[in-house]
């Protein structure tokens, strides 16, 4: 009985901690400890649950409670791109809300998995949506001015691939009639969207893949913009709309159009916020992670640092003006987006509790910033990096290197360290690496070909991280893949047929070709492990534990003895049960780890790879863990699926 009282007290303590440090607000909901009301659970994105029914002692007993199939899958045929299933459901008011790759919004009974309603926005699935047909979820908002039971008192917001912001009644799935036109706002036809004269057939280049956030009776949305097509891509504007009416409240462009000394500033596009945003209602701040300016691999027409691309920026929520910004990569030439979500936590430091923003990057670096000022809590120093040898390009002479925590992925690979499962594979990989310009991280792209370490998958990608406030541990999954980047002079671009992903980069003197370096067996040429799971002690800025995560044994065929560690896309969550839950690997499993030691305590097979972040909730005294398992649109070795799988104790 004493233990039960202690557990209840611990759960209450965490809930109160969140309320104090993140700030309660009806529009950016903290919710009850049994719910999961935001993508990252709390508005600050810690991805931590106070639930402890499932714990280290009983997690091995977890079984499938229910499975729901959406039916929405595209294998890349019939004029459509492949689909991926990246949604993280929300649990509010006793209903589970999720999205499909086709932007259908579905409400489920959280106990049985039975569908309650669905809404189909009818997107044009034939448009060129960059990485494919994906959506990571919805946001919710409660209109406190309406009485309980009134239509659209609880709203579900979705931002669609064809650039619409839609408001739905949470109870029925019907569009909210007072929001925009018939419940939706066309994001291409309001101020702040600069299309650059591109034709209608390119509308898919400007789309939305991540959920909005809500604060101050507003709903705020970023955008996803295709990489490497051309210089004058749409601007990466972030906009806030009235949550009741859909009227535009403000817009913020990461790239200044009036900054002196920036040639062709009016043509610089992207620098968009395609990943997950977070909010601090008590401080009235919204935190924006931004990507690179267009195009990614040649910046001769966008000289300078390109602020605020590749940054984390705190905006005043009521006005959209900049409170502070911190740039993680200057003048990006490697597609090193700030893809991970900003995470808000409070850390003990020098005898004080400091509210911070934790921000990771595809580089594998973690930056810890004061939440009020944006100044580094752990030191960051500008270090000299290699110059570009490409005519017309001027790479940044320095880049910001955090002194703590240490990088979570390698930043150098010698020819001798190139790997392969057989002598023939190793020989092929070493020959491939030897041909490339290779001076470690931040070696600029070249006509010769450059080794990018890490490649554009990260490091840290949108998978992000979770924070356990009891132990001050940040749990991070990272990728360790090397890539080759080669610039192709314009007069040779049409005749280049080398294997790899091609980007024309129109408007610049160079096309681009990139690919991850793989041996003839299809396994990566970089030294394993190719994926790790790491616990970082954020009070000390030190790694507590780091383990190979998942397996690539079946990647591209069976390989016999394969080192542990898999690339992963889909992040972790932590719970008061002392657990980390995470899927994301190519071996189609979900796993639970001891948060303090990294010991794997449980795993279960999924019907397809779980390339999404799980969530957990409690209904009627039973805790559930839910994951979307549908594979990844860009990993052809993975089979696709449409399953939402819930686990619970028997």
C-alpha distance from residue 15 to each of 80, 292, 537 (Å): 44, 36, 21
Is 337 assigned a catalytic role? no
> Which backbone phi and psi does 207 adopt, to 5 degrees?
-150, 180
**Cβ neighbours for 7, distance < 8 A, ≥ 6 positions apart:** 52, 576
Residues 6+ apart with CB under 8 A from 540: 404
**Phi, psi values for residue 360, rounded to 5°:** -100, 170
If you search the block for the tokens 């880049």, which residue do you land on? 399
Q: Check: CB of residue 271 under 8 Å from CB of residue 256.
A: no
Q: How far apart are CA 637 and CA 639, in angstroms?
A: 7
Q: What share of the chain is helix, strand, coil (3-state, %, to 5)?
A: 10, 35, 60
> Which of 227, 232, 280, 335 is the catalytic position?
335
CB within 8 Å of 352: residues ≥ 6 apart: none
Return the closest-CA partner of residue 93 out of 619, 648, 616.
Answer: 619
Contact between 602 and 59 (Cβ < 8 Å): yes
Q: HEC string of 268-302?
A: CCECCCCCCCEEECCCCEEEEECCCECCCCCCCCC
Among residues 452, 446, 450, 453, the alpha carbon closest in space to that of 389 is found at: 446
Tell me phi and psi for residue 519, to 5 degrees: -75, 170
**Helix, strand or coil for residue 603?**
strand
Alpha helices in 351-464 (DSSP H): 423-434
Catalytic residues: 335
């Amino acid at each position: 009985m004493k233990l039960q009282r202690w557990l209840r007290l611990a759960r209450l303590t965490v809930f109160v901690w969140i309320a104090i440090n993140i700030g309660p607000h009806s529009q950016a909901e903290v919710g009850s400890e049994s719910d999961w009301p935001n993508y990252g659970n709390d508005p600050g994105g810690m991805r931590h649950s106070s639930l402890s029914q499932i714990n280290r002692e009983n997690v091995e007993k977890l079984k499938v409670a229910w499975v729901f199939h959406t039916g929405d899958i595209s294998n890349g045929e019939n004029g459509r791109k492949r689909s991926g299933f990246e949604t993280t459901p929300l649990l509010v008011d006793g209903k589970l809300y999720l999205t499909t790759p086709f932007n259908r919004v579905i409400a489920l009974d959280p106990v049985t998995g039975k569908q309650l309603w669905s809404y189909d926005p009818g997107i044009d699935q034939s448009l060129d949506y960059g990485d494919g047909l994906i959506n990571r979820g919805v946001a919710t908002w409660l209109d406190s001015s309406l009485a309980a039971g009134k239509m659209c008192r609880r709203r579900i917001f979705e931002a669609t691939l064809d650039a619409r912001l839609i408001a739905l009644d949470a109870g029925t799935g019907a569009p909210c009639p007072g929001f925009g036109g018939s419940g939706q706002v066309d994001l291409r036809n309001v101020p702040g969207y600069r299309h650059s004269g591109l034709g209608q057939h390119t509308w898919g280049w400007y789309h939305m893949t991540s959920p909005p956030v809500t604060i101050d009776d507003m709903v705020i949305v970023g955008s996803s913009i295709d990489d490497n097509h051309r210089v004058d891509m749409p601007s990466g504007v972030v906009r806030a709309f009235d949550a009741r009416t859909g009227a535009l409240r403000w817009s913020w462009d990461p790239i200044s159009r009036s900054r002196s000394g920036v040639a062709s500033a009016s043509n610089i596009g992207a620098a968009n916020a395609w990943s997950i945003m977070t909010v601090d209602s008590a401080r009235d701040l919204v935190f924006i992670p931004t990507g690179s300016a267009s195009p990614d691999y040649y910046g001769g027409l966008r000289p300078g640092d390109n602020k605020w691309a590749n940054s984390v920026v705190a905006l005043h929520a009521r006005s959209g003006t900049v409170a502070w910004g911190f740039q993680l990569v200057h003048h990006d030439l490697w597609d090193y987006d700030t893809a991970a979500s900003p995470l808000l936590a409070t850390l003990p430091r020098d005898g004080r509790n400091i509210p911070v923003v934790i921000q990771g990057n595809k580089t594998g670096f973690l930056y810890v910033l004061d939440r009020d000022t944006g100044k580094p809590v752990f030191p960051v120093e500008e270090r000299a990096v290699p110059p570009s040898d490409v005519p017309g390009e001027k790479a940044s002479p320095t880049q910001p290197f955090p002194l703590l925590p240490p990088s979570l992925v390698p930043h150098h690979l010698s020819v001798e360290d190139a790997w392969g499962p057989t002598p023939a594979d190793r020989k092929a990989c070493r020959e491939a690496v030897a041909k490339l310009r290779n001076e470690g991280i931040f070696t600029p792209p070249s006509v010769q070909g450059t080794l990018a370490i890490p490649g554009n998958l990260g490091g840290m990608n949108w998978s992000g991280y979770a924070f356990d406030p009891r132990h001050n541990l940040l749990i991070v999954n990272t990728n360790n893949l090397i890539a080759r980047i080669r610039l192709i002079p314009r007069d040779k671009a049409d005749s280049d047929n080398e294997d790899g992903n091609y980007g024309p980069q129109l408007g610049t003197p160079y096309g681009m070709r990139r690919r991850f370096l793989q041996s003839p067996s299809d396994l990566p040429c970089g030294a394993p492990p190719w994926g790790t799971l790491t616990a970082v002690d954020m009070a000390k800025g030190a790694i507590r534990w780091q383990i190979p995560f998942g397996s690539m044994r079946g990647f591209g065929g069976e390989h016999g003895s394969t080192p542990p560690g898999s690339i992963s896309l889909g992040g972790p969550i932590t719970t008061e049960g002392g657990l980390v839950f995470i899927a994301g690997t190519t071996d189609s499993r979900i796993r639970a780890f001891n948060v303090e030691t990294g010991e794997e305590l449980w795993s279960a097979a999924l019907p397809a790879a779980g390339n999404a972040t799980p969530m957990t909730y409690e209904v009627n005294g039973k805790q559930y863990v839910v994951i979307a398992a549908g594979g990844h649109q860009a990993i052809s070795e993975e089979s696709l699926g449409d399953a939402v799988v819930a686990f619970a104790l028997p």
